[in-house]
Amino acid sequence: MKTIVTTAGRPTDFTKQLAKTAALQLDLPYIDRQKRTVTQLQQYYQSDVLVASKSRWEYYGQTSTEPFFYHPSSAMFRLKRVERGERDPLLEVCQLQTGDSFLDCTLGYASDSLVAAFAVGESGCITGCEANPVLAFILHEAFQKGRTEYIDFQAYMNKIQVVSTDAVSYLKTLADESVDVIYMDPMFETSITESVNISPLRSLGVQDALTIEWVNEAKRVAKKRVVLKAQFRSPWFEQFGFHQIIRPNTKFHYGFIEKSCTQ
């Protein structure tokens, strides 16, 4: 899908420079706003629109009813709970320890990666794959340059290194047993109507189904575990050999492959 870069409705020299720099970095056309609405720009250029505002980036897809901008989604209340010593299902299945490395194959809003950043501590390492280069750009700007209004957990955000590629391609570049825990959450398998907060991401994200190549590469690279999150009726748990953890009254379950069990 074609994308153009522009400024907010009332541009300043600062937002113009931001937009022009982003256009150059992403190899996308910069378009002067000229008091046009985003809808007018979408229709005229038949494209998605990346908007530089004063404090954040907004990404308007042609098929989306609202823009994507970075926010930590469920991580806000999850982090507050784990900081108080309460349990988190993801951390329980991943069994992360201080100093571990964690690869999030499906970064999205990075909610799970933020929680993982708490678990691995200062000496740990968090990497996330985002196949859509514009989404990857927005996430990097939020995490590494503070271009977000959500700064309560900036220390955790700073730990996340965003890789602008699909998960399988990135896994192929990694050595055997070089990442402690590899996590995948292909959210597009089944639409959950309650997840309205991810609707802009759903329309803009790259929709990849889980494949045997993906699972095999993850098993090769993982040192400890490969973890899957999927709809509770998903055939992927059995199909790819994940031990499914039944969570009563929840629409999503976790599954894991213990690396020691695959050797």
Write b or e for each residue in 143-181: b if 16 or more Cβ atoms lie within 10 A of its Cβ, otherwise e. Answer: beeebbebeebeebbebbebbbebbbebbeebeeeebbb
pLDDT at residue 93 tops 90 = yes
Per the listing, tokens 């609202």 go with: 66
Q: Which amino acid, residue 261? A: C
Write b or e for each residue in 10-42: b if 16 or more Cβ atoms lie within 10 A of its Cβ, otherwise e. Answer: ebeeebbebbeebbeebebebbebeeeebeebb
For 1-12, what is each residue's pLDDT tens digit? 699 999 999 999
Average pLDDT over residues 49-57: 95
In the Cβ-directed half-sphere of 95, how many Cα atoms lie within 13 Å?
Answer: 11
Strands 160-163 and 125-129: parallel
pLDDT at 150: 85
DSSP code at position 175: P
The three state secondary structure string of 38-95 is: HHHHHHHHCCEEEEECCCCEEEECCCCCCCECCCCCCHHHHHHHHHCCCCCHHHHHHC
For 12-45, what is each residue's pLDDT tens digit? 999 999 999 999 999 999 999 999 999 999 999 9
pLDDT at 200: 57
pLDDT at 191: 39
Structure-model confidence comparison of residues 248 and 103, the more confident one:
103
DSSP code at position 261: G
Angle made by CA atoms 107, 111, 114, in degrees to the nearest 5: 95
Summary mean pLDDT of the chain: 90
pLDDT at residue 57 tops 50 = yes
Percentage of residues in the chain having pLDDT higher than 90: 77
How does residue 179 score in pLDDT terms, banded at 50, 70 and 90? very high
pLDDT at residue 60 tops 80 = yes
How far apart CA 191 and CA 173 sit, in angstroms, is 31
How does residue 201 score in pLDDT terms, banded at 50, 70 and 90? low
Asked if residue 31 lies in contact with residue 7, where contact means CB atoms within 8 angstroms, the answer is no
pLDDT at residue 49 tops 90 = yes
Closest CA to 134 of 201, 244, 221, 59: 59
Of 89-103, 105-119, 202-216, the range with the lowest mean pLDDT is 202-216
Of 89-98, 183-192, 216-225, the range with the lowest mean pLDDT is 183-192
pLDDT at 205: 53
Residue 56: exposure state from Cβ atoms within 10 A (0-12, 13-18, ≥19): buried
How does residue 195 score in pLDDT terms, banded at 50, 70 and 90? very low
Asked if residue 39 lies in contact with residue 67, where contact means CB atoms within 8 angstroms, the answer is no
pLDDT at 72: 86
- Provide CB contacts within 8 A for 161, sequence distance 6+: 125, 126, 127, 128
How does residue 263 score in pLDDT terms, banded at 50, 70 and 90? very low
pLDDT at 255: 97
